[in-house]
Amino acid sequence: MSARPNIGAMRARLSLEKPVDAIDDAGAIVRTWTLVANIWAHLAARTATGEFAADSESPAVTWDVSIRWRGDVVAPMRFRAADRVLAIRACFDPDATRRVLVCRCEETTTP
């Protein structure tokens, strides 16, 4: 993938969500997700590995999600596309022009 995908490559419609932590009646922290924006993005798969935990295979898929520049996207946020959830692990501006933001994401099974 080039540092700046053209605007036509941003075809995936994603929801950007941020975590909101609250304390329930029992004193436990409960995390919910709040919609920040619906955005267009370009998705590019990077790696896919299989990890074994508790006698079952857990596939791990990492993605590069390219969006138009936003200064408010940070690591605990996530993208959602239908039943796919992409947890943001890191964000960077590939050419330091503030035109495109690339987010390294990991696909999770969290609802």
- Region 81-88: mean pLDDT is 92
1 located within any domain: no
Number of structural domains in the chain:
1
Backbone angles phi, psi at 97, to 5 degrees: -110, -5
| Sign of CA pseudo-dihedral 109, 61, 91, 65 | negative
pTM over 0.85: no
Structure tokens at 104: 């390294």
Residue 92 has pLDDT above 50, yes or no: yes
Backbone angles phi, psi at 41, to 5 degrees: -145, 165
Each residue's pLDDT tens digit, 25-70:
998 999 999 999 999 999 999 987 766 555 555 668 899 999 999 9
46 located within any domain: yes
- CATH at residue 38: 2.40.10.270
2 located within any domain: no
Residue bearing tokens 């920040």 = 36
Structural domain span for residue 15: 7-108
